[in-house]
Amino acid sequence: MTESTSVADKAIERILELSADLQIKRRATAKWSLAFYDFSVAIAAYGEALEVLTKLQREEGESSVSLDLLGLRECPPEPHAVA
């Protein structure tokens, strides 16, 4: 990961890792067992969390572009004379 990676990017990456791990465990579980159901519910919850985070990430990117266009992003203060 790079230094400029946002919190949302890190969270998305971690949720994808956790979801992949659960999908592997679910494949090794009997299809009609309680564990299979529990894994399926958790995987679905990870999917919902990913949906929220990707929307946040998209909005964050759009606001960043808007601020860049307006010249408001990370502008150093202008020097001024002190009388």
Instruction: Give tens-digit pLDDT for 50-60.
Output: 999 999 888 88
Domain membership of residue 80 (yes or no) is no
In order of 3, 20, 39, 43, 55, the CA distances from 35 in angstroms are: 38, 16, 6, 12, 30
Q: For position 6, what pLDDT does the model report?
A: 82
Residue 2 DSSP symbol: -
- How many domains is the chain partitioned into structurally? 1
Domain membership of residue 61 (yes or no) is yes
Domain membership of residue 77 (yes or no) is no
Residue 44 binned pLDDT confidence (cut-offs 50, 70, 90)? very high
Q: For position 1, what pLDDT does the model report?
A: 47
Q: Is the pTM of this model over 0.75?
A: no
The whole domain housing 56 covers 7-69
Whether the CB-CB separation of 13 and 1 falls below 8 Å is answered with: yes
